[in-house]
Structure 1
Amino acid sequence: MLSRQALRSLRAAAPQRTFARSSVRSYAAPATQDVKPPISVYGLDGTYATALYTAAVKSSTLDPTAKALSALGDLYAKDTKLAKILATPTLSDGDKSAIVAELQKSIGSAGANETVKNFLAALAENNRLSLLGGVCSKFGELISASRGEIELVVTSTQPLDNRTLSRLETAVSKSQYVGQGKKLKVTNEVNPEILGGLVVEIGDRTIDLSVSSKIAKLNKLLTDAL
């Protein structure tokens, strides 16, 4: 998305924005007590995600903010150069303004959300643009929790078809791992290193049915027997 040449062009074209320090610094502070996030998320990216969640709830913009952060997260995951650019320690104020403007432009109408604008301005002002991917991920966790969703991550060596995922979702939803009234949010991740089988993660629980896990257990048994 943002090459060095494009960054220079954007810097020249982007309006010079002055960030209000009193407002943007508050995103790095702990969330206020009158809005309680559904779960705790940790790390500096978790602090920003929690502050953003609090701001979105207070401004009644939670849904559009969630849409914008989802779009930013997808953009961050797909653009291999973006992470390196955001992590550049020598970004000038002009660079940051250009990056913020381009990020807003890249996610279309979702970028017009004032809560999102202030959030991106906070990251830029505080030299924390490199946290964008982590904040998007942890904000997604907060949104899922607020909607009563539980993450079901199924890791396989190849993508699973919808029928298989649906059967897994049905089986897990009836298990002891899913509380009453909870909804499953199913994701299929591909990792050839598990060699075969499945690794099923339900919230903070992991069921390892992979071939690599079975081989590791067999190797341990053989080693202990010697």
Structure 2
Amino acid sequence: MAFAGRLRPSLYLMNRLLRTESVFTRRSSAPRSSGNPNFTNSQCLRNFATTPSSKETKIKVPLSLYGVSGNYASALFLAASKANLLDKVESEILDIVEASKRSPVFSQFIKDLSVPGETRVKAVQGIFAEAGFSDITKNFMAILAENGRLRHIESIANSFTELTMAQRGEVKAIVTTVIPLPTEEEKQLKETLQDIIGHGKTVKLEQKIDQSILGGLVVEFSQKVFDMSIKTRARQMEKFLRDPVNFENL
């Protein structure tokens, strides 16, 4: 309870400052290397992709993502959307990421590039067929296996989730604290963020615990970062104390 009391001043100040655009620092949005998936002459791709008919509504990705993860996630989004399986595929991809964290054997398998591509493809096809996954997910994982990209599955899943949330009009906000936010303070933070992003979108708040920030909180959303952690304020104070004083201006 004492820790919760320490969070309140930070939340109060944050509620005031979050409404001022100038307090945010934007993350770099410069395009990374394209990292285009190597889909050329891939039998898996022919199974994975579908040719749109003239009557089919053209589907676009809701966000422009770059790099290996962004390109693969965008390809998966388009395929899942055309098959009307977006929610199912998202659930399956997240299950795969969770399995890679729980199983050391599976984790080692997806990271080991010494395994021949043909062997990797047969392995993932067998694993996910037995698990009852959709053809979209099975074929996508086969493409990753064939191209030696299985080790990127977690970052691809994160990018894919960005796309599905954008499609649903959701904005992910991550709040980092040293202890879980009390229910009332979490509600106040969510309302503040909702006011900022406006109507038509929904805030999805995710809490993270990080003892290293020492106290206060850090809020990240829409490529913006608001840092009111004690750790950052301590660094700022340390820098201020180390800077020489210009007595001529006093």
**Judging changes above 3 Å, is the alpha-carbon distance between structure 1 residues 163 and 26 closer, same or farther for their aligned structure 2 residues?**
farther
Q: Is the 8 A contact 2:178 2:213 kept in 1?
A: yes
Residue 145 (structure 1) shift: 0.5
For CA contacts below 8 A with separation 6 or more, give which structure has more relative contact order. Answer: 2
For 1:36, which of 31, 38, 60 is the aligned residue?
60
Residue 83 (structure 1) shift: 3.6
**Corresponding residue SS for 2:192:** helix
Residue 167 (structure 1) shift: 2.6
Query: Are 2:223 and 1:204 equivalent residues in the alignment?
Result: yes
Residue in 1 aligned with 2:137?
116
Amino acid in the other structure paired with 2:85: T
Residue 59 (structure 1) shift: 1.8
Query: Are 2:75 and 1:56 equivalent residues in the alignment?
Result: no
Tell me how large the CA RMSD over aligned residues is: 2.5
Q: Computing the radius of gyration over CA atoms, which structure comes out larger, 1 or 2?
A: 2
C-alpha distance in structure 1 between counterparts of 2:176 and 2:46, whole Å: 39
Amino acid in the other structure paired with 2:208: E
Query: Are 2:68 and 1:47 equivalent residues in the alignment?
Result: no
Amino acid in the other structure paired with 1:171: T
- Taking structure 1 as the reference length, what is the TM-score of the superposition? 0.77
**Judging changes above 3 Å, is the alpha-carbon distance between structure 1 residues 155 and 103 closer, same or farther for their aligned structure 2 residues?**
farther
Residue in 2 aligned with 1:160?
181
Residue in 2 aligned with 1:101?
126
Residue 91 (structure 1) shift: 0.9
Residue in 2 aligned with 1:139?
160
Residue 165 (structure 1) shift: 2.2
Q: Deviations over 1:130-180 (max 9, x none)?
A: 111111111000001101011110001123344432232122212x2x132
Residue 100 (structure 1) shift: 4.3
Residue in 2 aligned with 1:91?
115
Residue in 1 aligned with 2:235?
216
**Corresponding residue SS for 1:55:** helix
Please, which runs of 5 or more residues in structure 2 have no aligned partner? 1-40, 50-57, 246-250
* Range with bigger deviation, 159-168 or 38-47: 159-168
- Taking structure 2 as the reference length, what is the TM-score of the superposition? 0.70
Amino acid in the other structure paired with 2:45: V
C-alpha distance in structure 2 between counterparts of 1:51 and 1:68, whole Å: 16
C-alpha distance in structure 2 between counterparts of 1:88 and 1:183, whole Å: 39
Identity %: 29
Q: Is the 8 A contact 2:128 2:138 kept in 1?
A: no
Query: Are 2:192 and 1:171 equivalent residues in the alignment?
Result: yes
Q: Is the 8 A contact 1:25 1:122 kept in 2?
A: no
> Paired residues, what number?
197
Q: Deviations over 1:178-203 (max 9, x none)?
A: 13211011111111111111001122
